[in-house]
Amino acid sequence: MEKTKAIILGNRSKHSHFEEYFKIIDIIEQHENTNPDICIESCKALIEGVSKTILVNLDSTRTKEIIDKEDLPKLFSSLSTILGEKCEDIEGDFISRFGQIVKTIGEIRNKRSDISHGRMAPKFVYSSAKFSSTVKQMTDSILEYILTHYFSLEFPAEESNLKYYLEDLEDYNNWLDESVDFPIKKARYSKVLYDTDYDEYETRYYDDFLKEKEVGEEVEGKEDVAIEGENGLTIQEKIKQIILDGAEKLSKTNFDAEQRVGELLKEFAQKWKLDFDDLEELYNDYYFSEKPPLRDEIVNIMVTKPENLKERIEIVPIIIKEFLELAERLNILRIK
């Protein structure tokens, strides 16, 4: 999906919200060979999501509620029509043929989906890795063509949305770090503020940092002025309290998530009679490497090994499949 990522990154200054689709792109690339039908399903979701976003932005009569009721072929047809009206150089016949491909992707997803709609077991028809790779490449080409024309249209600049790791904000982040004697030694005060109270982070940027910069006041080494705020606290004391409260909430959330991860792993280990410690280590390896476990690795952590080759061939692939499904769920828990 390099073409789609490149066109989005090249237009991030005005359309940064499209970077949210990188999550789906990651899923497509991750499952291309290991879970072809999840890859294809994600391609359909990506085309559908991009189509909805463009339609809402270009047609003021369309609301989210209306668009959510339309199926993928209708969405893409509407998208083709409105882009054809606004982009003189777009090839109408070419994009119409795209519509047939998009319709086919949607039909395949409906028949073979592993996630959406709920699927009965056992599953009898699987897509091959070669086929999912072809669908991925076609999706990449479709979206590159659509987004190239969409981004060529004139749009007003997006409202400011500060990104912590932008190089332009490094001076501001340093200024924040130096403005408070932050008690957590291994954490940056500016980053914790950004993560736990973004509104305050943005307000201080515009109301304090930029104004000081405009009048040429020196920030580095300047002593903070104690201005009383609510409850008799200085502004710095108030912000410090916000940070500490946020850090405490963040810590509790992480603890609860890890506890739930452990519980689900234990249930899975009991279901398939696997060694829990080995299973936990296997999941952690997958979490950081994103490499699905090998069949031998699964066999090695089984408390009771398969009695024969036939049993191994039947059971181990099922365990791997359910392990990957569980891992996706656990990854989401950790991200939250």
CA distance to 61, 107, 293, per residue, from 55 (Å): 10, 22, 41
pLDDT at 174 over 50: yes
Please list, in sequence order, all residues whose beta carbon lies within 8 angstroms of the beta carbon of residue 198, skipping any fewer than 6 positions away: none
Q: How far apart are CA 292 and CA 187, in angstroms?
A: 33
Domain-embedded: residue 162: no
Q: What percent of the chain has pLDDT over 90?
A: 8
Q: Decide: residue 270, CB within 10 A, 0-12 exposed, 13-18 middle, 19+ buried.
A: exposed
Same domain, 12 and 139: yes
Within-domain flag for 156: no
DSSP 60: T
Q: Which residues contact 15 (CB under 8 A, 6 or more apart)?
A: 8, 151, 155, 158
- One domain, residues 23 and 147: yes
- For 48, counting Cβ atoms within 10 Å of its Cβ (0-12 exposed, 13-18 middle, 19+ buried), the class is buried
CA angle 13–14–15, rounded 5-degree value? 100
On whether both 237 and 329 belong to a single domain, the answer is no
Is residue 273, in this structure, part of any structural domain at all?
yes
Same domain, 8 and 71: yes
pLDDT of residue 151: 84
Dist CA 26 CA 6 (whole Å) = 14
Q: How many domains does the chain have?
A: 3
Q: What is the pLDDT of residues 94-129, one digit of tens each?
A: 766 676 676 777 666 555 555 555 554 554 456 677
Structure tokens belonging to residue 4:
């789609």
Q: Is 216 left (phi over 0), alpha (psi -120 to 50) or beta?
A: left
Tell me whether residue 116 is in a domain: yes
Residue 250 has pLDDT above 50, yes or no: no
Asked which of 101, 122, 151 is the last residue of a domain, the reply is 151
How big is the chain by its Cα radius of gyration, in Å?
Answer: 25
On whether the CB atoms of residues 215 and 269 are closer than 8 A, the answer is no
In a domain? residue 161: no
Contacts of 277 (CB under 8 A, 6+ apart): none
Query: Which of 227, 250, 273 represents a domain boundary (last residue)?
Result: 250
Place of tokens 């061939």: 313
- Look at 241 and 183; give whichever has higher pLDDT: 183
User: In the predicted model, is pLDDT for residue 213 greater than 50?
Assistant: yes
Read off the tokens for 37.
């039908």
- What is residue 234's three-state secondary structure? strand
Answer yes or no: is pLDDT of 316 > 80.
Answer: yes
300-322: average pLDDT: 88
pLDDT tens for residues 141-152? Answer: 888 888 888 888
- 24 and 101 fall within a common domain: yes
Same domain, 97 and 65: yes
What are residue 91's phi and psi, to 5 degrees? -90, 105
- For residue 49, count CB atoms less than 10 angstroms from its CB and return exposed for 0-12, middle for 13-18, buried for 19 or more: middle
Indicate the pLDDT class of residue 319, thresholds 50, 70 and 90: very high
* pLDDT score at 322: 92
Q: Whole-number mean pLDDT of the chain?
A: 75
| Listed residue (177, 172, 154) closest to 162, CA to CA | 172
Whether residues 47 and 129 share a domain: the answer is yes
Question: Is residue 235 included in any domain, yes or no?
Answer: yes
pLDDT at residue number 330: 83
Same domain for 131 and 6: yes
The confidence band for 235, taking pLDDT boundaries of 50, 70 and 90, is low
Considering the domain architecture, whether residues 276 and 138 belong to the same structural domain is answered as no
Same domain, 206 and 267: no
Give the residue from 183, 218, 250 where a domain finishes: 250
Q: Are residues 262 and 242 in the same domain?
A: no
SS3 302: strand
Domain ranges, residue 101: 2-151
206 belongs to a structural domain? yes
Instruction: Looking at the structure, tell me whether residues 116 and 235 fall in a common domain.
Output: no
Cα 53 to the center of its chain, rounded Å: 16
pLDDT reading at 219 higher than 50: no
More confident residue, 298 or 70: 298
Rank 68-77, 186-195, 224-233, 300-309 by mean pLDDT and report only the highest. Answer: 300-309
User: pLDDT tens digit string along 2-23?
Assistant: 888 888 888 877 777 888 888 8
On whether residue 138 sits in a domain, the answer given is yes
pTM of this structure? 0.44
